[in-house]
A and B are shown apart, each in its own frame.
Chain A
Amino acid sequence: MLLFFDVEWGEIMSENILEIRNLTKEYPGVIALNDVSFDIRKNTVHCLVGENGAGKSTLIKVITGAIQRTKGEILLNGKEYHAANSNEARVKGVSTLFQELNVVDQLTVEENLTLGVEETKFGFIKNTEKNAQVIKTLKSLDPSIDPKQSVSSLCVAKKQIVEIAKAVSSNADVIIMDEPTASLSETEIQKLFGIVKDLRKNNVTVIYISHRLDEIFELADDVTVMRDGRHIETKPITEVKDRVELIRMMIGKTIYEAYIPPEVKPEENILQVENVSNKKLKNISFNVKKGEIVGFYGLIGAGKTEIARAIYGEDPFHGTITFEGKPFHPTPHKAIKAGVALVPEERRTQGLFTMLTIRSNVPVMSMNKVATMGFLNIAQEKAATKKYIDALNIVTHSMEKEVAKLSGGNQQKIVFAKSLFSDADLLMLDEPTRGIDVGAKSEIYTIIRNLRKEGKSVMIFSSELTEIVNMCDRIYLLYDGELCTCIENGGDIDTQQIIHIVTGGE
């Protein structure tokens, strides 16, 4: 009897390849993963869905060892699993296909496949059984790829196939795919789906992350929904009625912080964009009025940043942009002079001079305001910096502190201070609150609303729906480089409808 029990128990154990128990990841001020527990069944395609910032990527990063958990445990085949880095994860049987390609363009396909696993003799690379095995895998996936060919000559989809071949041949039990279809065409996507289904047949478990909900219904055996760093539900896809139900699970009953309409109704146009197209954008037309907050929402890669870049003169485009009634042919320099300022997506790499002091960072966008005849007026510079430290509530004991030493929220406020100091009439905010804590977030929202009160115009490009719905007077929705629709915010926005549109629904 006891023996029977044991066998039974063993079988139950082995049915789940991964068991996640009370997994938590905390950052200072932010809980990215909050007590997440769920199981992933063996030989299934397990889809992970949730809004941006729901915690999917954090979970994947913990599993692959890119970051370390705060607490909780992960069991792989019933045994405690811990990876210090992605290489260790691979050795233990967990391979990952990252959103960004990890192939080395300068090497050949074969060299890429054996990179990191090559065996050497006297420092020379040996031609081993293993190599033959990898190439065989590749051939079975796509016979048209020549192993001797340079990777740079392959298209994105084929590069991805090379990566898949590498992941598969490493004898992985689990392959994680993070938005693998983001850069693929329709036919390539179908090919990838075929590969995923084959993998399942060959006793590999696939964890599949995608924003495109149709893919989930096509591929998934099970689906796990995450929201705000929490696990919401895991169930077989057959038990999910339709995408509306899935979307409801993703959004939940989140009560949005109330939207506050402007005191004066905006009338006069400040920016008019007509038929702007380039590599990423298709026929974009919209307008922004004085004293208005306009939001742009879409998934990653939908073209939000590209709109900001075009207006700021960073990317070339066809079409016309009119700013304050005049045609606008911008470079960043001219844009700032005309009264447009950008708060870029990545504050550390695009917005700040982290090794310089707060005082040196604040005036950079209009140095002539703190200088006479090319000579700096340090007193004016200090006064301006002091003004913004107070106005934006930047926490620091000295303005001579290097920006690198500040917290994310305070750093973001410095980027804001920079743009505000330039006296811009139109501010473009690209992901204005990414990676900062709740307190700083709400402070930044207050700053934005005050700008509107002063009659300035604000464009918010965000992948955080809550932010868009709370802040914006009008919302443009983007999908795949196109503006789908414009929604007036009356305080009763149907977020399910928004998600439906930006995930490619009609």
Chain B
Amino acid sequence: MGKQKKKLLVALSDELFIILFMTGVLLVLFGIACIAVPNFACKSNILALLTNNWYLVLLGIGTTFIVKTGNMDMSLGGIVAMAGVLVAFFCQGTDATRTLDIGLGLSFFPAALLAILCCMVIGLINAFFIARLKVASLIITLGTGFLARGIAQIIARGAQRSTNLDDSFGLVGKMYVQFGNTSIKLSVIIMLVILIIFYIIEKKTVFGRTTYYVGANAKAAKLSGIKADRHLGTLFLINSVLAAIVGIVLASEFLAGYSTRGKGFEFDALCVTLLGGTSVAGGFGSVLGAFIGTMTFSIVTNAAGGMLLSPDWTFILKGVVTFLAIVAQRYALDKRKA
């Protein structure tokens, strides 16, 4: 029996092994939280784990693809803010006196589309510099991140655009879908749909496979006829779209486009990506991991709140757990490979 179990373990791919390992970590943390925190295990709280951090899964999906190629995208937070402020600005009515109240008077969906297109310009700048001019992704995306946030700041006058908005603006962000006697936020469903789509892209398409090739050995990929640079550019473009969707849905949920929204999101996204087992060296990882990483992250934040720790302590708890989880994961992988 034991031997058979061992055989099964060997037959697993490293990727599946890491995902199972991190699911184990997730369950252990969940168990600890259930014991330590009163009412942690109730249904509404478990649902909240999913609901509170849906946007992190989306950012983690894009980041997983980027990190898998050995790159980073630091412009996410800025794009989230820019998308939020822009969609609000596009939706605000034209009939007001204060500049901060005047918008373009579009309805929500055209406005959202336009905001996504604007964010894709940032993504294109990233793509151009990284794929064409071979600038390190860390550097250019730090720059464009500031650029995007700067645009958000200017349009929102350093604050927010929340007035003169129609009720329809909050439709997407505030909508709930009823499943039996449970109601689930629309944004969570959007997240799950996108997660499934990207999982299929990752595992079942040439595009997804190409990401692994480029990440595993960019040189060999090029010599094997893969247009590695173009692929990398496309990934950064996709990432900007995902960040824009996050920004727009968040703006709808809060009925406002804040210029300070999304600060540090790029680090949170990186964090859940690494928690999900994706390797910074490239060529290894899965979007499924980003989902599990986000849930781990959620449990820690949620449990910290439940234990009545002051929010100031959340960061330390997050830091320690994240670090230990990633170290444990790398250790397990090395051990397995040896």
The answer to whether B223 and A312 touch across the interface, beta carbons within 8 angstroms, is yes
A36 in the interface (beta carbon within 8 A): no
The answer to whether A352 and B220 touch across the interface, beta carbons within 8 angstroms, is yes
A375 in the interface (beta carbon within 8 A): yes
A151 in the interface (beta carbon within 8 A): no
A367 in the interface (beta carbon within 8 A): yes
Whole-angstrom distance between the alpha carbons of A354 and B217 in the complex? 8
B206 in the interface (beta carbon within 8 A): yes
Q: Per-residue CB proximity of B188-227 to A under 8 Å, as 1/0?
A: 0000000000000000111101101100110111111111
Across the interface, B206 reaches (CB within 8 A) one of A312, A336, A356, A371, namely A371
- Among B13, B209, B219, B223, chain A packs the most CB atoms within 10 A around the CB of B223
The answer to whether B220 and A349 touch across the interface, beta carbons within 8 angstroms, is yes
Q: How far is the CB of A10 from chain B (nearest CB, A)?
A: 50
Closest chain A residue to B282, Cβ basis: A355
B284 in the interface (beta carbon within 8 A): yes
The answer to whether A365 and B225 touch across the interface, beta carbons within 8 angstroms, is yes
**Chain B interface mostly:** helix
Q: How far is the CB of A294 from chain B (nearest CB, A)?
A: 21
Whole-angstrom distance between the alpha carbons of A356 and B219 in the complex? 15
Whole-angstrom distance between the alpha carbons of A366 and B213 in the complex? 13
Across the interface, B13 reaches (CB within 8 A) one of A350, A353, A376, A400, namely A400
B283 in the interface (beta carbon within 8 A): yes
The answer to whether A332 and B224 touch across the interface, beta carbons within 8 angstroms, is yes
The answer to whether B204 and A375 touch across the interface, beta carbons within 8 angstroms, is yes
Q: How far is the CB of B220 from chain A (nearest CB, A)?
A: 6
Contacts A352-B217, A356-B283 given: A337-B204 contact, CB under 8 Å? no
A265 in the interface (beta carbon within 8 A): no
Q: Which of B217-250 contact A (CB under 8 A)?
A: 217, 219-227
A229 in the interface (beta carbon within 8 A): no
Chain A residues with CB under 8 A of B284: 355
Number of interface residues of B (CB under 8 A): 24
Q: Which of B224-278 contact A (CB under 8 A)?
A: 224-227
Chain B residues with CB under 8 A of A351: 220, 223
A123 in the interface (beta carbon within 8 A): no
Chain A residues with CB under 8 A of B219: 349-350
A360 in the interface (beta carbon within 8 A): yes
The answer to whether B209 and A376 touch across the interface, beta carbons within 8 angstroms, is yes
Q: Which of A102-118 contact B (CB under 8 A)?
A: none
- Among B11, B204, B212, B225, chain A packs the most CB atoms within 10 A around the CB of B225
A59 in the interface (beta carbon within 8 A): no
Q: How far is the CB of B249 from chain A (nearest CB, A)?
A: 28
The answer to whether B206 and A376 touch across the interface, beta carbons within 8 angstroms, is yes
Whole-angstrom distance between the alpha carbons of A351 and B206 in the complex? 19
Q: Per-residue CB proximity of A339-370 to B under 8 Å, as 1/0?
A: 00010100001111111110010001111100
Contacts A333-B225, A335-B225, A364-B226 given: A353-B220 contact, CB under 8 Å? yes
Q: Which of B282-302 contact A (CB under 8 A)?
A: 283-284
Q: How far is the CB of A308 from chain B (nearest CB, A)?
A: 10
The answer to whether B225 and A337 touch across the interface, beta carbons within 8 angstroms, is yes
Closest chain A residue to B216, Cβ basis: A353
Chain A residues with CB under 8 A of B213: 353, 356, 360, 364
The answer to whether B225 and A376 touch across the interface, beta carbons within 8 angstroms, is no
A374 in the interface (beta carbon within 8 A): yes
Whole-angstrom distance between the alpha carbons of A162 and B249 in the complex? 62
A166 in the interface (beta carbon within 8 A): no
Q: Per-residue CB proximity of B1-40 to A under 8 Å, as 1/0?
A: 0000000000101100000000000000000000000000
- Among B216, B217, B226, B283, chain A packs the most CB atoms within 10 A around the CB of B217
- Among A333, A352, A400, chain B packs the most CB atoms within 10 A around the CB of A333
Chain B residues with CB under 8 A of A366: 225
The answer to whether A356 and B223 touch across the interface, beta carbons within 8 angstroms, is no
Whole-angstrom distance between the alpha carbons of A364 and B206 in the complex? 10
Whole-angstrom distance between the alpha carbons of A342 and B219 in the complex? 13
Whole-angstrom distance between the alpha carbons of A360 and B215 in the complex? 13
Q: Per-residue CB proximity of A369-402 to B under 8 Å, as 1/0?
A: 0010011100000000000000000000000101
Chain A residues with CB under 8 A of B212: 353, 356, 360
Q: How far is the CB of B164 from chain A (nearest CB, A)?
A: 44
Whole-angstrom distance between the alpha carbons of A353 and B70 in the complex? 14
Whole-angstrom distance between the alpha carbons of A349 and B217 in the complex? 7
A452 in the interface (beta carbon within 8 A): no
Closest chain B residue to A312, Cβ basis: B223
Closest chain B residue to A366, Cβ basis: B225
Chain A residues with CB under 8 A of B205: 371, 374-376
Across the interface, B283 reaches (CB within 8 A) one of A312, A333, A355, namely A355
Across the interface, A364 reaches (CB within 8 A) one of B13, B14, B224, namely B224
A46 in the interface (beta carbon within 8 A): no
Chain A residues with CB under 8 A of B221: 353, 364
Q: How far is the CB of A83 from chain B (nearest CB, A)?
A: 28
A418 in the interface (beta carbon within 8 A): yes
Q: How far is the CB of A459 from chain B (nearest CB, A)?
A: 16
The answer to whether B225 and A350 touch across the interface, beta carbons within 8 angstroms, is no
The answer to whether A333 and B227 touch across the interface, beta carbons within 8 angstroms, is yes
Q: How far is the CB of B12 from chain A (nearest CB, A)?
A: 10
Whole-angstrom distance between the alpha carbons of A450 and B226 in the complex? 28
Whole-angstrom distance between the alpha carbons of A344 and B217 in the complex? 14
Whole-angstrom distance between the alpha carbons of A451 and B240 in the complex? 47
Whole-angstrom distance between the alpha carbons of A21 and B269 in the complex? 60
Across the interface, B224 reaches (CB within 8 A) one of A337, A365, A368, A376, namely A365
Q: How far is the CB of B200 from chain A (nearest CB, A)?
A: 9
The answer to whether A350 and B223 touch across the interface, beta carbons within 8 angstroms, is yes
- Among A332, A344, A364, A375, chain B packs the most CB atoms within 10 A around the CB of A364
The answer to whether B223 and A332 touch across the interface, beta carbons within 8 angstroms, is yes
Whole-angstrom distance between the alpha carbons of A81 and B227 in the complex? 51
Chain B residues with CB under 8 A of A368: 206
Q: How far is the CB of B197 from chain A (nearest CB, A)?
A: 13
Closest chain A residue to B203, Cβ basis: A376
Chain B residues with CB under 8 A of A353: 212-213, 216-217, 220-221, 283
Identify 23 residue pairs between A and B in the complex whose beta-carbon atoms are under 8 Å apart, listed by A's number.
A314-B223, A332-B224, A332-B225, A337-B225, A350-B219, A350-B220, A350-B223, A353-B213, A353-B217, A353-B221, A353-B283, A355-B283, A355-B284, A357-B13, A360-B212, A360-B213, A364-B213, A364-B221, A364-B226, A366-B225, A375-B205, A376-B204, A400-B13
Give the 8 A-B CB pairs with smallest separation, nearest first. A336-B225, A353-B216, A333-B225, A364-B224, A367-B206, A365-B224, A371-B206, A353-B217
Q: 8 more A-B contacts (CB under 8 A) besides A350-B219, A360-B212, A375-B204? A: A333-B226, A351-B223, A353-B216, A353-B217, A353-B221, A364-B224, A364-B226, A376-B204
Which B residues lie at the A interface, using CB under 8 A? 11, 13-14, 204-207, 209-210, 212-213, 216-217, 219-227, 283-284
Which A residues lie at the B interface, using CB under 8 A? 312, 314, 332-333, 335-337, 342, 344, 349-357, 360, 364-368, 371, 374-376, 400, 402, 418, 422
